[in-house]
Amino acid sequence: MEENNMQTPETTPETVPAQTKKRKRRFGDRPDGYRLRSLQPMSKVSPYIMPNRSGASVYFHESIEITEAENYIRKKRNQGLKNFGFMHLLLAAYVRVISQRPQANRFLSGQRVYSHGDDIVVNLTIKREMTLEAEETIVKMHFTPTDTADDIYYKLQKLIEENKEVNPDSNFDNTAKIFNYIPGLVLKFAIWFLKLLDYFGLLPKKLIEVSPFHGSMFITSMGSLGVPPVFHHLYDFGNIPVFLSFGAKYKKTELKPDGTPVQKKYIDYNIVCDERICDGFYLASSFKLFKTYFRNPHILDEKPTTVAHDVD
């Protein structure tokens, strides 16, 4: 069952049967989100008090026991989803949290608060091969609040397979190469100009789509490298408000209530979040809900019964 929303009346979102919601663009909206105009006064003032994303970051560390998660992953692989893993499970849990806690899908740009709405945009760095010399590329995934774990698996696998091949026409790689040819002083001006366009919401949608600095979240797996998760900083360029990093599995010996020792497996994950997108109570509620879905992953096999939409 979905966890009940606990919010003040002024910020209670619209909760409707599971479906996406289309909004008409209005003056002041951006290509990647719509401006929130009915926020509390503090939410409008805080971006001016804390103008930079790096200075408004909060750090969250969590460990989670993964017995149920591993059972769920085995079940999905037995169903034919052979590459299903923790990355897919984390993404599915995150997307489901957004379906119930839409304020977590907000971002700030130009000292204003926006929402991605029903477009959940996740960036992920992948290596074309697991070697020291292999090139990296970034994939950008678009999810909806009604996506199930299976939907997320197929969307992610399609993108990974497409980008693991050496693709000279990759939009992200081609854009990076163009900037690489620009002389340093001119590049500095070009980046300043792009920041200016972004500040006023005038950055072209095509550039936003290839930018690794724009989206709902950036996720990285340190587990595939066999190391603990890092607290990754947020970028002041762009608008990504959440960076999630998870580490390798490890074992820990615990005592049962009767004093018998037992070994359990855990993973650690770290979240760095822009605190200006919502209040601390709402953020804590979102973190708890994320953990709930990770402990009860079977919920993610079905579409949510209701979807909450952010205020206008």
Examine residue 4 and state whether it is found in any structural domain, yes or no: no
The SS3 of residue 15 is: strand
Contact 112, 104 (CB under 8 A): no
Q: Over the range 3-41, which residues count as b (16 or more CB within 10 Å of their CB) and which as e?
A: eebebeeebebeeeeeeeeeeeeeeebbebbbbbeebee
Element holding 273 (H helix, E strand): strand 261-274
Structural domain count, the chain: 1
Residues 133-171 pLDDT 10s:
556 778 899 999 999 999 999 999 888 777 766 554 556
Q: For residue 164, what pLDDT is reported?
A: 66
Residues 202-223 pLDDT 10s:
999 999 999 999 999 999 988 8
Examine residue 259 and state whether it is found in any structural domain, yes or no: yes
Q: How many residues in the chain?
A: 312
Residue 53 or residue 172, greater confidence:
53
Q: Output the pTM of the full model.
A: 0.87
> Which value, in Å, is the radius of gyration of the alpha carbons in the chain?
20
Examine residue 21 and state whether it is found in any structural domain, yes or no: yes
CA distances to 188, 266, 282 from 269, in Å: 35, 10, 19
Residues 210-262 pLDDT 10s:
999 999 999 998 887 788 899 999 999 999 999 999 999 999 998 888 889 99
Examine residue 178 and state whether it is found in any structural domain, yes or no: yes
Examine residue 183 and state whether it is found in any structural domain, yes or no: yes
Examine residue 206 and state whether it is found in any structural domain, yes or no: yes
Mean pLDDT taken over the chain: 87
Q: What is the CATH number of the domain that holds 294?
A: 3.30.559.10
**For 120-255, where are the E strands, in sequence order?**
120-127, 136-143, 217-221, 242-246, 250-255
Is residue 128 scored above 80 in pLDDT?
no
Examine residue 140 and state whether it is found in any structural domain, yes or no: yes
Examine residue 2 and state whether it is found in any structural domain, yes or no: no
